[in-house]
Structure 1
Amino acid sequence: MGKFVISPTSNDQYHFNLKADNGQVILSSERYNSKASCLNGIESVRTNAPDDDRYDRKTSSNGKPFFNLKAANGQIIGTSELYESTAGRDNGIESVKRNAPTALVEE
C-alpha cells in the first residue's frame, strides 16, 4: 500500500510525496502555506487519481517523459519524476491510480 508523506519545507511551508509500496516517490506536490492546505491537496489527489483524463502526459526539455496530475479545475496537484521511456511514465500513472485512493498519510 502506498503512502503520502508530508514534509515541512523552508518558510514554514509543507509539501507531500506519494510513495508506492516499494518506497519510490511516484508523485510530488507543490508547496503549501499550511498543513491544512497540504492535506486538502492530498484529498484532491485521492479524488482525481482514478480518472485517466486528469493526467497530462508531457515531455521535458531534455526529452524525458513525465506527467502532471490535474484537478477538475485544471490546477496541477502533483508532478511525477522524469522517466526514461513513455512506458515508464505510463507505469507511473498506473501506480498513482492504484496507490493514491487508499494511501495512508504519514507526517
Structure 2
Amino acid sequence: MIKIDKKEDGLYQFILKSENGNTLLKSVPFSTENEIDSALKELKFLKNSNGKLFERRTNTDGKFLIELKNTNGKIIGSSGLYSSEAGMENGILNISNSIDIDIK
C-alpha cells in the first residue's frame, strides 16, 4: 500500500507499507504533487530493473539499509534499518512485491 502525506511544511512524501502495515520505505520530500506523481509512476519500472534501482548500504553502526533510486540515479526513498544482510535482501523483495501489487 502506498500512502501519500502532505506534511505541515507543504512538502509531500509517500510511504510504502506491507500488507500487514509495516513501513517498508519512506520517500524523500517532494515539493509538488506533480513531483511525487512522477516518482510514483517511475516505480512501475522497478520490476524490470533487475534490482538496479536499489542501493544496498551500511550505516556507521553496521546496520543495513536500502535506498531506492529513480531511473536517473536520484534517491527517492529509504528503508528502515536491518540488522542483517539477509534481512535487507528480504526487504528488497518485500518492497518489490508491494510495489508490484499496489501499482498496476
The whole-number CA distance in structure 2 between the counterparts of 1:91 and 1:12 is 33
Do 2:63 and 2:81's aligned partners in 1 also have CA atoms closer than 8 Å? yes
- Counterpart of 2:42 in structure 1 is 44
The whole-number CA distance in structure 2 between the counterparts of 1:45 and 1:62 is 30
2:9 paired with 1:14: no
- Give the C-alpha shift of residue 46 in structure 1: 2.8
Do 1:17 and 1:27's aligned partners in 2 also have CA atoms closer than 8 Å? yes
Secondary structure at the counterpart of residue 46 of structure 1: helix
- Counterpart of 2:28 in structure 1 is 30
Unpaired runs of at least 5, structure 2: none
Do 1:49 and 1:69's aligned partners in 2 also have CA atoms closer than 8 Å? no
Q: CA RMSD in A?
A: 1.4
- Give the C-alpha shift of residue 101 in structure 1: 2.4
Unpaired runs of at least 5, structure 1: none
- Give the C-alpha shift of residue 44 in structure 1: 1.6
| Equivalent residue runs for 1:70-81 within 5 Å | 70-81=69-80
Instruction: Give the aligned residue type for 1:16.
Output: F
Do 1:6 and 1:16's aligned partners in 2 also have CA atoms closer than 8 Å? yes
The two structures have a TM-score, normalised by structure 2, of 0.88
The whole-number CA distance in structure 2 between the counterparts of 1:12 and 1:49 is 31
Q: Percent of aligned pairs with the same residue?
A: 28
The two structures have a TM-score, normalised by structure 1, of 0.86
Secondary structure at the counterpart of residue 67 of structure 1: strand
Listed one character per residue, the Cα deviations across residues 48-79 of structure 1 (whole Å, up to 9, x for unaligned) are 25521111110011110001111221111211
Which runs of structure 1 show a deviation greater than 6 angstroms over 4 or more consecutive aligned residues? none
